[in-house]
Structure 1
Amino acid sequence: MSELRGVGIGLGVAQGPVVRMTEALPAPENTPSTVGVDAERARARDAVGAVAAELNARGEAAGGSAQEVLEAQAMIAEDPTLQDEVDARIDAGSTAEWAVHDAFAGFRATLEAVGGYLGERAADLDDIAQRVLAHLRGVAAPGVPDPGHPYILVARDLAPADTALLNLDQVLALVTIDGGPTSHTAILAREKGIVAVVGTVRAADLVDGETVIVDAAAGTVITSPSDDEKQRAAQRAAERLSADTAPLTPGALADGTSIALLANLGKPADAADAVARGAEGVGLFRTEFLFLSSAQAPTVAQQREQYRELLSAFPGKKVVVRMLDAGADKPLAFLNDAHEENPALGLRGLRALRASEDILREQLTALAEADAETEADLWVMAPMVATVEETVYFTDLAREYGLKTAGVMVEVPSSALLADRVLAHADFASIGTNDLTQYTMAADRLLGSVAGFQDPWHPAVLRLVREVGAAGARLGKPVGICGEAAADPQLAVVLVGLGATSLSMAPSALADVRHTLSTRTLDEARSLAEAALAADDAASARQAVATLAATFPHH
């Protein structure tokens, strides 16, 4: 046997045969057609039609938001403008393959330049072009395989459309070669409760059909496992299943210290699932979904309805709403579509809202109106706050609208280092570990080449969390964590040891985190935090915590 190391998502374990995702097809050569214009046009039209029909059929089978994604792809495939571009290249003597490849590439560049929601669709074009090329060449389309039996999927990384198509009865676990703990694949794996190990560089050596054990808790993929190892993995999988069905209790440590376990939500429709999984409220409601698909900002009345639906699902419970966090990977035409060389360091979050204050004021109006009509305990927070002055600006504005609890997201090292001054004005702080890691390590979280730096276990990031936790304790202000780090059960214990008073995560992660917290006292959590802080890098912080945790009594 050998052990391949990556970053595990959650605590799951699974075993089965490897099936590798097919690699992208090579680009065609621009050679002259040998069959003539009419034949090439017919080939191109047949291939596009077949791909659109297949996407629609898959969408119908998948249902839900996956159906919307795939039907939109089918519409793009048959776009008349694209068809004209393909025809023009065929008329100039090209083959259908080259015409499709070149026309789609040109269309992609146009969409990327437009940015915003359409810019996000640019990657979908690659997927459609690959499918059409595969059809023209008579080979299998790249993408999620369907071998007809349960398997472990090994891929370089997954496009969101691929993840939408995963058949969870067949895909036992996911292993990716690229990607870090905050990549789209990792976030979707957590959301869907898929056992996953990402950033497993040596997974490139795995071959179809070999049996492996994917152990997310250990962050390993074990090749050629013994019968004993397979049996132990099966037993652990069964234990986890029973933990999933354990009674829902409020989050607490072994010594009774209460730690509220909250849900990260993207739209009101997700509330019911969060409640069913025992969420004690909402630690992060992302309001972007209201804005991302619009050419202009939604009205106050449209916003109020959505906020009312959300707040009604949590009577008497805390609901933390983040103001619109646009910019960087989420540009909006009506807010900040100016081209920026480095958008992660540009006009985003609260900066963008201040530049268009009417949008911020409309959001606060809608929230205040929804709050007046519902029983939830509404908290509001500003994203991407970097200074004390910004804190004062936002908390004053929120209070002007009668919102009684106003706080800030700590995602920038400056606000973590000045947490005592920030919390002198804000009612609470919520740490967004994804961005805090990105800005501490100077590593773009969307860039695969630096994914190795994007690890919230890094002691530099944990030191900043400790600053905020300590300031919160001194001033009696709550400090929550709402980044992906809160969904990592071992790291959740460390974060509590650093002073976090609540943890917010994808609802599917609640059971694992609830169970792990219940096995540790506050003193143990603090000792584990000290061990992580004393390490030199993320990997040794993980290892130090695992080693020390193994010496503690079983509560």
Structure 2
Amino acid sequence: MAVISGVGVSSGRAAGPVVRMPDPVGEPPAGATLPDGADVAAEGARIAAAAEQVRADLERRAAAAHGDGVAVLEATALMAADPTLVTAAQKKLSDGTSAPRAVWDAAAEVQAMLESLGGYMAERARDVADVRDRIVAVLDGRPAPGVPERAEPFVLVAHDLAPADTATLDPATCLALVTEGGGPTSHTAILARALGLPAVVAAAGILDVAEDTVVLVDGGAGTIQPDPPDDVVAQVRAAAARVLTFDGTGRTSDGHRVQLLANVGDPKGAAAAAEAGAEGVGLFRTEFCFLDRAEEPSVDEQVAQYTAVLAPFAGKKVVVRTLDAGADKPLPFLTDASEANPALGVRGYRTAWRHPEVLDHQLEAIARAGEASGAEVWVMAPMISTPAEAADFVARAATFGLATAGVMVEVPALALTPDHLMAKVAFASLGTNDLTQYTMAADRLLGDLAELSDGWQPAVLRLVHLTAEAGLQAERPVGVCGEAAADPALAVVLTGLGVTSLSMTARAIPDVAATLLSVTRAECVRLAELALSAPDAKAARAAVHAELPPLG
């Protein structure tokens, strides 16, 4: 087969046999009835046996799982052990409904009941859907949904992956991810980077590759090569076995400094970043203590949560982003769920227009947490569109003693007026995910637009260059905290464009550090010029990869 191209979202190369995710469990036909002559009691026993099989399987998989996957599987196993769903399904058999349809309809009722209770119980509705699908699969004699179990390491191929699927991935057996759908900022892409797995999304034709076919996945180039030569497979596997480490100082081969920081979103992530040797935190996402809540957390609660994240970085720089509510992170007490186009609506800093008290409470909590932790706290606001908004935020932060205040550059208008911006702020941080979305007019969550939602787009790189140059002239640091920083080749380009720091998932730091050490500052500039002069993202990526010895 010919080489398949997609969008590379997590760098690295891996080779292994293809394992396909089972097809989603479809809804049984409405009105499906029991087969002629079927015994209701026997069908009821079959439902109970299927539920027990699902429970036992989930408990067995939980015992062998790692990390977040343990909790996901244990929660689902508990739901499978609850007799509520089985009893409700068995009752529906009496009117002639088929066993699979009875389970489906009973699950819908249980889900509605849980959702009406709200809070923690509403969250369990998702577990009911998972259990429903698994029971129906057993009744129909089909493979259970979720990541297949294999003793031999494999490349996982799917149309796309749900959060519950990705939470159960084990990097010890899953070598790489390839999906036909999804985009650079999809859940699959983010998880692949967090796990350090090579990944390609939007790979049209990947589902045509037969199960067990050996493929070579290049997450940097965005390609999948079926049936690669044996010597190439051996070379890739030998390279993957090497362990890279980071000595704590990001730099090029001629000593040009580039801070290598971590993106974190909770205390667990902060601890992992500190263990990985990150020079600090370039993006602390504070949404974790606001999400799934009906009201704003108290200042004291925020202080405790933020201190837990900041503590591992005492004496080091931590850039704290204020609440980025809205769009894909709606909050009932702050945002309007009825907006026709929430990505262009009241989100990020704009929520402070009507609810300034929420931002003030957060700034107070950040300042107190900084004092308690000993971290060097910088603070920045998301979704800033004008230099005037930037000035307003800096002044508001100063009232709480937060002297190092800056903004996220995600809106093209701000990147096009960088001189005015730098006169107002202490620093700027480029959020390349949203900057790409707004520059290319392409929803970053829509897989069909994955080729446009690519940080390699020359138009996006030009905006990065404009902002970095203005920072250099004004002696203001300009970093990148979008997912683009985790791509070693793109990190070289960003360095050549003039950014002073790169913030990424902690697992990507050793690869980025090693790649930067392979080039001089002058080579970074030359490669950046190659990317800027390319006609599109694919050409920019190919031109730079061809010139980088470790990646060529």
Q: 1:62 to 1:220 in 2, by over 3 A?
A: same
Q: 1:44 to 1:344 in 2, by over 3 A?
A: farther
Match of 1:215 among 209, 218, 221: 218
| 1:478 partnered with 2:481 | no
**Does the aligned pair in 2 maintain the 1:368–1:402 contact within 8 Å?**
yes
1:115 CA displacement = 11
Give per-residue Cα distances to partners, 1:447-497, cap 9 Å, x unaligned.
222222211101111111112112111211111100100000000111111
| 1:389 partnered with 2:392 | no
SS at match of 2:456: coil
Match of 2:153 among 126, 150, 153: 150
Instruction: Give the aligned partner of residue 17 of structure 1.
Output: 17
**Does the aligned pair in 1 maintain the 2:303–2:369 contact within 8 Å?**
yes
SS at match of 1:373: helix
Q: Distance in 2 between matches of 1:125 and 1:457?
A: 41
Give per-residue Cα distances to partners, 1:385-427, cap 9 Å, x unaligned.
1222321221111101111111111111122112222222121
Q: 1:478 to 1:108 in 2, by over 3 A?
A: farther
Gaps of 5+ in 2: none
Instruction: Give the aligned partner of residue 167 of structure 1.
Output: 170
Q: Distance in 1 between matches of 2:94 and 2:342?
A: 40
| 1:454 partnered with 2:453 | yes
Match of 2:143 among 128, 140, 154: 140
1:59 CA displacement = 3.5
Of 505-514 and 163-172, more deviation after overlay is shown by: 163-172
Of 517-526 and 7-16, more deviation after overlay is shown by: 7-16
Q: Distance in 2 between matches of 1:492 and 1:115?
A: 44
**Does the aligned pair in 2 maintain the 1:380–1:407 contact within 8 Å?**
yes
Instruction: Give the aligned partner of residue 8 of structure 2.
Output: 8
Q: Distance in 2 between matches of 1:65 and 1:377?
A: 30
Give per-residue Cα distances to partners, 1:492-531, cap 9 Å, x unaligned.
1111111211000000000010011112222221221121
Q: TM-score, normalised by structure 1?
A: 0.90
Superposition pairs of residues 213-362 of structure 1, within 5 angstroms: 213-238=216-241, 241-242=242-243, 244-245=244-245, 248-362=247-361
**Does the aligned pair in 1 maintain the 2:407–2:425 contact within 8 Å?**
yes
**Does the aligned pair in 1 maintain the 2:530–2:543 contact within 8 Å?**
yes
Instruction: Give the aligned partner of residue 58 of structure 1.
Output: 61
Q: Distance in 1 between matches of 2:247 and 2:49?
A: 54
Instruction: Kindly report the root-mean-square deviation, in angstroms, between the aligned alpha carbons of the 2 structures.
Output: 3.0
SS at match of 1:465: helix
Q: 1:355 to 1:43 in 2, by over 3 A?
A: farther
1:57 CA displacement = 4.5
Instruction: Give the aligned partner of residue 33 of structure 1.
Output: 34
SS at match of 1:452: coil
Aligned residues: 549
Of 145-154 and 508-517, more deviation after overlay is shown by: 145-154
Q: Distance in 1 between matches of 2:354 and 2:120?
A: 20
Q: Which amino acid aligns with 2:269?
A: D
**Does the aligned pair in 2 maintain the 1:158–1:185 contact within 8 Å?**
yes
Give per-residue Cα distances to partners, 1:302-353, cap 9 Å, x unaligned.
2112222222211221000111112111112222253222221222111124
| 1:179 partnered with 2:182 | yes
Q: Distance in 2 between matches of 1:261 and 1:62?
A: 31
SS at match of 1:157: coil
Q: Distance in 1 between matches of 2:499 and 2:227?
A: 41
Identity rate of aligned residues, in percent? 51
Of 283-292 and 162-171, more deviation after overlay is shown by: 162-171
Give per-residue Cα distances to partners, 1:189-222, cap 9 Å, x unaligned.
1111122222221212211122222222332222
Q: Distance in 2 between matches of 1:118 and 1:406?
A: 40
SS at match of 1:334: coil
Q: 1:416 to 1:67 in 2, by over 3 A?
A: same
**Does the aligned pair in 1 maintain the 2:10–2:200 contact within 8 Å?**
no
**Does the aligned pair in 2 maintain the 1:116–1:333 contact within 8 Å?**
no
| 1:501 partnered with 2:500 | yes
Q: Distance in 2 between matches of 1:117 and 1:382?
A: 30
1:124 CA displacement = 5.9
SS at match of 1:403: coil
